[in-house]
Amino acid sequence: MTELSELTDAATAADPRAGLRAVRALGRLLEHLERTQVDRARAAGWSWQEIADVLEVSRQAVHKKHARR
Amino acid sequence: MFERFTRNARGVVIGAQEVAHRQGAAEVRPAHLLQSLAAQGDVLAMRVLADLGAPGDEVRRVVGELGAHYSAGLDGEDAAALELLGIDLDEVIRRIDQDLTGGPAPTPKGHQRFSRQSKKVLELSLREALRLRDGFIGTEHILLGLIRVDDHTVRQLLAAFDLDTDDVRRAVDEADRRAG
């Protein structure tokens, strides 16, 4: 798996900075993907509970994070 | 609320939908509002920016160079870091904007949904108009709304011209006073 080896290469690079930045960037990307998909699910009429079930987190967690953003 | 928008301000809002559609974005983000504003030419908001040393041509160039990832809240450094993982960030953002299941983007042309942040920009522009006791919402109020919403693309644009939000706010207030 190329991606995995590249990921481990980056994560174990001599300068930890590059790997740490990759971690930060992935976190931001995850955040963007989550917001987009939660918004889309809500627009499609999904309940908070349904969204929480697929994300495998509590309804409260999803609601708290996304309901008032 | 839309009836309070000046003709130019309406042009910004409608233009933002067109920009978002053109880019295949699932929703209208503050970056699209900014791009649309920059494309308006001789409107008060752009005159204010020009007076601050950010002329329209330059603003359009800078905004145009901000890749798709900027509108998603990621910067050039993020793009470079993800490239190390073999991830083409702009390609990923493009796919997220489309339907992940391979279907078409869920919104038809001209009816692009405004993201929460973009709705906030428009709400804040109304508040700015009220604060300045203007009976209308103009491009200058949209500019203030964009600044207040703390969008990444807007921050990048200001940084490119070495401006901060207070500079722009003061300049808009001043222009507003002059306009009476």
pLDDT 10s per residue in chain A (69 long)?
Answer: 456 666 666 655 567 888 898 998 999 899 889 988 998 899 899 999 999 999 999 999 999 999 877
Q: What residue numbers bound the domain in which A20 lies?
A: 2-66
Mean pLDDT of all residues in chain B?
85
CATH number for B57: 1.10.1780.10
For the stretch B48-65, pLDDT in tens is 999 999 999 999 988 877
Could B26 and A40 be called an inter-chain contact, meaning their C-beta atoms sit closer than 8 Å?
A: yes
User: Closest-CA residue in chain B for A43?
Assistant: B113
Of A6, A28, A69, the CB nearest to B85: A6
Task: Determine the average pLDDT of the residues in B147-168.
Answer: 89
Q: Is the dihedral of CA A12, A15, A18, A19 positive or negative?
A: positive
Query: What's the pLDDT score for residue B178?
Result: 86
| Cα B141 from chain centre | 12
**Measured between alpha carbons, how far is B28 from A63 in angstroms, rounded to an integer?**
23
Residue B48 confidence (pLDDT):
95
Residues of B within 8 A of A5 (CB-CB) are none
ipTM of this complex: 0.71
Under the banding of pLDDT at 50, 70 and 90, the label for residue B74 is confident
More confident call, B25 vs B107: B25
Nearest to A22 among B82, B93, B116 (CB): B82
Q: Does B115 touch chain A (CB under 8 A)?
A: yes
Confidence of residue B158 (pLDDT cuts 50, 70, 90): very high
- B119 vs chain A: nearest CA distance in angstroms? 11
What residues of chain A lie within 8 A of the CB of B93, using their CB? Answer: 32
Please report where in the chains the tokens 């207040």 appear, as a residue.
Answer: B148
Split into its structural domains, chain A has a count of: 1
Domain residue limits at B110: 2-179
C-beta atoms of A43 and B113 within 8 A: yes
The answer on pLDDT for B106 being more than 70 is: no
Disruptive mutation site among A36, A37, A65, A68 for chain B (greatest number of B CBs within 10 Å): A36
- What is the band of B69 on the pLDDT scale with cuts at 50, 70, 90? low
How many structural domains compose chain B?
A: 1
Is the pLDDT confidence value at B68 over 70? no
Residue of B nearest to A20 (CA): B81
Q: Give the model's pLDDT for residue B77.
A: 76
Q: Is the pTM of this model over 0.90?
A: no
> Which chain A residues touch B85 with a CB distance below 8 Å?
3, 6-7, 10, 22, 26
Instruction: Check whether B102 has a pLDDT greater than 60.
Output: no
Secondary structure (DSSP) of A1-53: -HHHHHHHHHHT-SSHHHHHHHHHHHHHHHHHHHHHHHHHHHHTT--HHHHHH
CA–CA separation, B38 and B32 (whole Å)? 10
Q: In the structure, what pLDDT confidence band is assigned to residue B180 with cuts at 50, 70 and 90?
A: low
pLDDT at B12 over 50: yes
